Structure 1
Amino acid sequence: MKLLHLPPYSPELNPVEHLWDELREKYFHNKVFDSIFSLEKHLESSLLSMELDQQKVRSIVAWPWIINALLK
């Protein structure tokens, strides 16, 4: 594990923010849930779908500057 120091507020530098945007846009767009349980189940299945699509996740989070910083 390698720590990378980021500015105090830099959501554009945090790839996880973009992953959550993708999740909200593709899997939760205009959805209403009957209960927190149904929301959790939907979240679990959505995350599993994203996990299985490694190419998509890589395209969202594996920015060149991140890869370069990790390989130093």
Structure 2
Amino acid sequence: MRLIFQHEGRFCLLGTPRQCWVPRGSRPIVGARLQRQDLFAFAAVSTHDGVIDSLVLPWANAETMQVFLAEMARRHAVEFIMMVMDQAGWHIAGHLDVPQNMRLEFLPALS
């Protein structure tokens, strides 16, 4: 059996407005559109031996959580996995198909 603690983090690249040149006395008309790019790092660590598994995915939702669970089950196919996680919406989605060699345990709400 492998005890694993899972969490995900969001990494964001936020564009910044730049200066522009205009003739003296005129006012620039430039749209101030900030662009944002997000990536989510799903990670799980096994505390007894320090093994870390991670995936970088474009979103954090039930579908990407399913991809992460399937990948964890594949990487540790010969072991039974007890995965501890918080109760994020995509963790407790009703349509998650938990692999047979895995059990999910949830931390108490707001802990």
Query: Which has the higher Rg, Structure 1 or Structure 2?
Result: 2
* Structure number with higher strand proportion: 2
TM-score, normalization: structure 2?
0.21
Larger helix fraction of residues: 1
